[in-house]
């Protein structure tokens, strides 16, 4: 192994050469969707006279619920919105599809399903979605048990490489979450597969990380070692609570001698009950800085982790659920799958509003309970983007939010706000100052 290995295949954290083939995501089956009209959501686009029914190339609009345009009156209203507005509007509309309970007094949603009805598998991030540190996110065990009982496949997809799938499944089971080791897919497994495809079978690999990495490497026929003197072909780094200066030094020495440098994930932080702690992306900067070599990253948002999860579940139409825009949601968008952002972890409502296009989710919900509620309805009317009694518009370069008596759920306000903001900024991103005052009125 020479230094060239790092130059050729390891210099970009966004490239995974040996797994860079065409996505193996199964074609995303589009389920039948509810075509009932919702009069209050059928407002037309004042600039086109049409309902905004533009297809979204990333998120097929029929994937769930009755989002924008589902009540399109007829051919006369099928005028295409102007270029530039459509894609952003479609993505923006999609953001509002996550469920919230209808306001009191609204017609009973007897024929309306839940957000989950449109998907056959959930690819779930763990930290900040299912648990925070050792504790379950409130309501998560119940929501996932209910999903499993309905026959939806669950896969737990984590960038955390410090623990084995068995240990993670045990933790989940103790929290009341249905899980077996085979349901857990870790970035350690993705990293081990990446390394196994890039070095000769049986090669020594220096593990700067925990037992999860060691086990995953052995499963791929590689030999975990602990010192640079053992001439490892690769150095693999994953988060480990007891990571030492001595082991980091071995990693630096090995990489400087030409070993291939692979990081299980690039998360700069990880959420815990105490707050944000340093993640593997921060810890791997030590070797990267001291050795002058950037690692190849195996975990989210790189495709291998989600791809393996989809294959393992046999999913035809998976929903990727996460709390981070730059890993979970970005990874879903790269895989061409729908995504649900839950606000129980890292990402805040402000983060969602100001997200760049690659980081914008299909759905937003407060927590996993949103899986079992009807998909939110959102539409573009004369006054702006409407969801659950909230109307969001963009005036003089700033977000504006108005509400009527039907506005009971501030999450609907956020969905409308995202729709308006994303449509306004298109392929750019909003500045905090443009949205902060309006967002404050939601009290989220």
Q: What does the binding site for Mg ion look like in residue numbers (CB under 5 A)?
A: 125, 127-128, 323, 345
| Neighbouring C-beta atoms of residue 23, cutoff 10 Å | 14
Query: For residues 51 and 136, which CB has a smaller minimum distance to Mg ion in the complex?
Result: 136
DSSP 424-439: HHTTS---HHHHHHHH
Residue 22, phi then psi, degrees to nearest 5: -65, 145
Would you say 189 and 236 are in contact if contact means Cβ atoms under 8 Å apart? no
Query: For residues 127 and 308, which CB has a smaller minimum distance to Mg ion in the complex?
Result: 127
H helix intervals, 12-117: 86-95
Nearest distance from residue 127's CB to Mg ion, in Å?
Answer: 4
H helix or E strand, kind and range, residue 385: strand 384-387
Query: For residues 329 and 401, which CB has a smaller minimum distance to Mg ion in the complex?
Result: 329
User: What single-letter DSSP state applies at residue 131?
Assistant: E
For Mg ion, which residue has the nearest CB?
128
Query: For residues 137 and 414, which CB has a smaller minimum distance to Mg ion in the complex?
Result: 137
What is the Cα–Cα distance from 79 to 347, expressed in whole angstroms? 36
DSSP 280-298: HHHHTHHHHHHHT-PPEE-
Nearest distance from residue 324's CB to Mg ion, in Å?
Answer: 5
Q: Which of 413, 419, 407, 406 is nearest to 439 (CA)?
A: 413
Would you say 361 and 341 are in contact if contact means Cβ atoms under 8 Å apart? yes
Query: For residues 4 and 276, which CB has a smaller minimum distance to Mg ion in the complex?
Result: 276
What is the Cα–Cα distance from 356 to 428, expressed in whole angstroms? 6
Would you say 47 and 82 are in contact if contact means Cβ atoms under 8 Å apart? yes
Nearest distance from residue 323's CB to Mg ion, in Å?
Answer: 4
User: What single-letter DSSP state applies at residue 64?
Assistant: S
Nearest distance from residue 152's CB to Mg ion, in Å?
Answer: 20
Nearest distance from residue 135's CB to Mg ion, in Å?
Answer: 14
Query: For residues 343 and 407, which CB has a smaller minimum distance to Mg ion in the complex?
Result: 343
Would you say 260 and 235 are in contact if contact means Cβ atoms under 8 Å apart? yes
Would you say 291 and 252 are in contact if contact means Cβ atoms under 8 Å apart? yes
Nearest distance from residue 126's CB to Mg ion, in Å?
Answer: 7
Residue numbers annotated as active site: 125, 127
């Amino acid at each position: 192994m020479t230094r060239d290995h790092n130059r050729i295949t390891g210099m970009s954290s966004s490239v995974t050469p040996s797994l860079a083939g065409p996505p193996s995501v199964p074609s995303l089956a589009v389920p039948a969707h509810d075509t009932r009209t919702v009069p209050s959501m059928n407002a037309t686009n004042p600039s086109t006279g049409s309902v905004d029914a533009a297809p979204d190339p990333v998120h097929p609009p029929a994937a769930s619920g009755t989002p924008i345009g589902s009540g399109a009156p007829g051919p006369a209203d099928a005028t295409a919105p102007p270029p530039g507005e459509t894609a952003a509007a479609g993505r923006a509309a999609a953001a509002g599809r996550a469920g919230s309970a209808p306001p009191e007094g609204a017609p009973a949603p007897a024929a309306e399903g839940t957000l989950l009805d449109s998907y056959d598998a959930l690819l779930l991030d763990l930290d900040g979605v299912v648990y925070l540190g050792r504790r379950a996110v409130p309501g998560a065990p119940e929501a996932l048990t209910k999903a499993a009982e309905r026959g939806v496949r669950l896969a737990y997809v984590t960038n955390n490489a410090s623990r084995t799938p068995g240990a993670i499944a045990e933790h989940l089971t103790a929290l009341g979450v249905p899980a077996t080791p085979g349901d857990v897919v870790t970035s350690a497994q993705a990293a081990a597969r990446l390394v196994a495809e890039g070095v000769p079978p049986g090669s020594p690999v220096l593990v700067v990380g925990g037992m999860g990495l060691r086990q995953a490497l052995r499963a791929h026929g590689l030999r975990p070692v602990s010192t640079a003197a053992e001439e490892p072909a690769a150095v693999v780094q994953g988060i480990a609570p007891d990571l030492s200066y001595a082991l980091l030094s071995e990693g630096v020495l090995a990489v400087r001698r030409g070993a291939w440098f692979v990081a299980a994930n690039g998360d700069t932080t990880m959420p815990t009950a105490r707050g944000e702690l340093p993640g593997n992306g921060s810890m791997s900067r030590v070797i990267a800085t001291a050795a002058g070599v950037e690692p190849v990253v195996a975990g989210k948002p790189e495709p291998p982790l989600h791809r393996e999860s989809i294959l393992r579940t046999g999913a035809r139409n998976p929903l990727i659920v996460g709390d981070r825009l730059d890993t979970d949601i970005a990874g879903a968008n790269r895989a061409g799958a729908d995504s649900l952002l839950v606000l129980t972890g890292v990402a805040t409502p402000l983060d969602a509003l100001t997200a760049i296009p690659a980081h914008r989710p299909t759905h937003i919900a407060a927590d996993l309970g949103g899986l079992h509620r009807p998909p939110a309805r959102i539409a573009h009317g004369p006054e702006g983007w409407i969801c659950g009694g909230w109307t969001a518009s963009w005036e003089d370069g700033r977000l504006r939010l108005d509400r009527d008596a039907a506005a009971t759920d501030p999450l609907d306000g956020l969905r409308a706000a995202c729709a308006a903001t994303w449509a306004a900024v298109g392929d750019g991103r909003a500045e905090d100052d443009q949205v902060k005052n309006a967002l404050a009125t939601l009290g989220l």
